Structure 1
């Protein structure tokens, strides 16, 4: 009976760890790299970080939508997750959630 419990706990632990890995690092999502200038290209559109002073007025109402990609750092674990923005006038805006600093979102919009 004791060996069965250990086996069940081991299998459940493996399933939980695998599930967490798939949920967190999403191997089925596209992995993209930053360009040298800090922008990144996703689905043939180049996005740059928004750095103007009207940051809060422009993006404070937006929410994170669907997770669409992960930004890689040259062969290391993913550091950023890319989300579609949800809300009015959210076209051409992506929200990048920094994994290292868990509470900061950076807003990227399409370069013209």
Structure 2
């Protein structure tokens, strides 16, 4: 059976569009790229965020989920690449979730410095 030229062009176009959409979704070239500070914190929208390492980690973050993707963290040529998400849930206004793209795909919670996140 012969496939018409229109069908071939349609299939090739669909594949190209799918690749472009995947690239934009996965690598987000339009999102801001931010650098880590020397102490592993990062600055986003003029606020510095540091990793939360308290013993009450599960209690504080059990109801918080990843929201909108807001930035990409550059690790100065190192892997893994990290994606920053807004946190959604109760008391999440000063929290960002960093998704570290490694085999285990770890979520790390960062809290804005100098802010008491939970009353």
| Same structural fold, with TM-score higher than 0.5 when normalized by the shorter chain | yes
Gaps of 5+ in 2: 115-119
Q: Distance in 2 between matches of 1:78 and 1:33?
A: 13
Runs of 4+ in 1 over 3 A off after TM superposition: 1-6, 75-78
Residue correspondence of structure 1 range 1-112 to structure 2 within 5 A: 1-74=3-76, 79-101=81-103, 103-112=105-114
My pick for the range that moved more, 28-37 or 72-81, is 72-81
Deviations 1:10-40 (A, max 9, x none): 2211110110010111111111011111100
Select the structure of larger CA radius of gyration. Answer: 2
Taking structure 2 as the reference length, the TM-score comes to 0.83
1:9 to partner: Cα distance: 2.2
Gaps of 5+ in 1: none
Deviations 1:40-96 (A, max 9, x none): 000110000001111100101101111111112225787111111111111210001
Q: CA RMSD in A?
A: 1.9
Q: How many residues align?
A: 112
